[in-house]
Amino acid sequence: MSIKLGIIGYGGMAGWHHRNASKIEGVDVVAAYDIDPKRVKAAEEAGLRGYATLEAFLADPEINTVLVATPNHVHKELAIASAKAGKNVIVEKPVALSVAELDEMVKTAQDNNVLFTVHQNRRWDKDFCIMRKAVEMGMLGDIYTMESRVHGSGGVIYGWRAYKQYGGGMLYDWGVHLLDQILFFMKPHKVKSVYAQLFSVINPEVDDYFKVLLTFDNGMSAQVEVGTFCLKSLPRWFVCGNEGTLYIEDFQGKGGITRIRRMAKEVEPEIVDTPSGPTRTFAPQPVETKEDVELPEVEANWTDFYKNVRDAIDGKVELIVKPEEVRRVLAVMEAAFKSHETGKVVDMIED
Ligand code: NAD
């Protein structure tokens, strides 16, 4: 069956979906609904059937799949209405503002026997796929800690994202992507605890900086950090294993791995004078004991998301972005907000 996609909310991200989903065989974008008449007109000018009411949009018999691409606070009601109309449902991230909201959405989809998924497209980011492949290939040995961060310096948050009532702020906006990547990567390990700090550095109402520290049942830790107003940037990924260290600077996957060839056999009994002062532990590894290796190559394409949804609707493949996975991410985000409010570590009990 080909996907006949109708988009709710024909704004910035919807335009991206329209251009990119249309490139995929078996996916046709056919219609859009928006509360803003200017955006309905824009959809019509881009070749879609434009609708000014939800009822008329959902009554369009050609649409078999709806993509909700509105501000976050109305995802729930629009996804539920779409599922009740018998349409498969794709929701933009963050799928909802709480686990309770998501549970209602998923139950409605199940009751109406339609597919439900979320556009967690950053599972297909090149930098993430490279990091994942390097670790899976054992290039770092056993990893014990990882840092995922996005630093930018623009700072000012635009439009609805700057207001709490619309589900704004960076934990909802970017945190949901970065936490989804970490939980997807760490599967099957469970989150044991969450500690978070959020700041409103230059945007008064919502978080424009956050740092979340997760611990897992295998003893590993992962730190996720987003700063919108950092005038210097740290690398996108920094991952440490007992045989190597990986860093990836950017979304294009520029970076490398430094691996140990052999441990320096003999440590000089004399303390070594280093730039950090007299120390043995921090003396640099002798050059001949380590090697710089290239990061693995990967094929990574956001549009693979649509192919997976198309084939999952037909029952040919397993759905990649599963409701239970996005539920775990929302639970971690709820714990992060709670940790920020209380200043305490929040213990997680995952089934
Ligand atoms: P936007 O403001 O550019 O567009 C939102 C559109 O929704 C507007 O045209 C607005 O008129 C319309 N709208 C608002 N309320 C509506 C309602 N009740 N019913 C119908 N239409 C309504 O926002 P955006 O940047 O396109 O973000 C939309 C969604 O996409 C958000 O959930 C955001 O988090 C997500 N997003 C995802 C990615 C990604 O990489 N996955 C990137 C950007 C945005």
Contact 121 CB / ligand 1 (< 6 Å):
yes
Closest CA to 236 of 124, 336, 152: 152
Residue 271: CB partners within 8 Å, gap ≥ 6?
A: 278, 279, 280
Beta carbons within 8 Å of 183's beta carbon, 6+ residues apart: 191, 325, 328, 329, 332
What pLDDT score does 322 carry? 98
| CB 69 near ligand 1, within 6 Å | yes
Q: Which residue has a Cα nearest atom 44 of ligand 1?
A: 13
Task: Tell whether ligand 1 has an atom less than 6 A from the beta carbon of residue 93.
Answer: yes
Residue nearest to atom 42 of ligand 1 (CA): 13
Question: How far from each other are the two terminal CA atoms of the chain, in whole angstroms?
Answer: 35
Nearest CA to ligand 1 atom 4: 11
- CB 37 near ligand 1, within 6 Å: no
| Nearest of 46, 90, 43 to residue 65 by alpha carbon | 90
Q: Quick check: 265 pLDDT over 90?
A: no
| CB-ligand 1 contact for 40 (6 Å cutoff) | no
Over residues 149-195, the pLDDT tens digits come to 999 999 999 999 999 999 999 999 999 999 999 999 999 999 999 99
> What pTM, to 2 d.p., does this model score?
0.97
Kindly give the distance from the C-alpha atom of residue 46 to the centroid of ligand 1, in angstroms, as a whole number.
17
> Coil, helix or strand for 38?
helix
What's the pLDDT tens digit per position in 2-14?
A: 999 999 999 999 9
> In the predicted model, is pLDDT for residue 267 greater than 80?
no
Mean pLDDT for the stretch of residues 95-113: 98
Confidence band, pLDDT 50/70/90 cuts, at residue 278 = confident
**Whether the CB of 36 sits within 6 Å of ligand 1:** yes
* Contact status, residue 306 vs residue 3, Cβ threshold 8 Å: yes
* Burial class (CB within 10 angstroms; exposed 0-12, middle 13-18, buried 19+) of 313: buried
Mean pLDDT rounded to a whole number for the chain: 96
pLDDT one-digit tens code per residue, 288-299: 889 999 999 999
State the pLDDT confidence band at 217, using cuts at 50, 70 and 90. very high
Q: Identify the pLDDT of residue 264.
A: 66
The string of pLDDT tens digits covering residues 314-347 is 999 999 999 999 999 999 999 999 999 999 999 9
**pLDDT score, position 280:** 75
Distance of CA 81 from the midpoint of ligand 1 (Å): 17
- The string of pLDDT tens digits covering residues 75-91 is 999 999 999 999 999 99
| Ligand 1 center from residue 340 Cα (angstroms) | 27
Half-sphere exposure of 81 (CA within 13 A, CB side): 15
pLDDT at 1: 80
Q: Which of 58, 70, 124 to mutate to test the pocket of ligand 1 (most atoms within 8 A of CB)?
A: 70
Confidence (pLDDT) at 99:
98
> What secondary structure, in 3-state letters, does 279-331 show?
ECCCCCCCHHHEEEECCCCCCCCCCHHHHHHHHHHCCCCCCCCCHHHHHHHHH
Residue 159: count of CB within 10 angstroms of its CB: 11
pLDDT reading at 268 higher than 70: no
Nearest-atom index, ligand 1, CA of 72? 32
Beta carbon of 9 within 6 Å of any ligand 1 atom: yes
Output the pLDDT for position 272. 77
Question: Which residues have CB under 8 Å from 192's CB, separation 6+?
Answer: 215, 216, 217, 347, 348
Q: Which residue has the higher pLDDT, 268 or 149?
A: 149
**For range 300-314, the mean pLDDT:** 97
Closest atom of ligand 1 relative to the 14 alpha carbon? 26
- Residue 266's pLDDT band (boundaries 50, 70, 90)? low
Measured distance CA(116)–CA(107) in Å, rounded: 10
DSSP 3-state of 246: strand
Asked if residues 163 and 115 have their Cβ atoms less than 8 Å apart, the reply is no
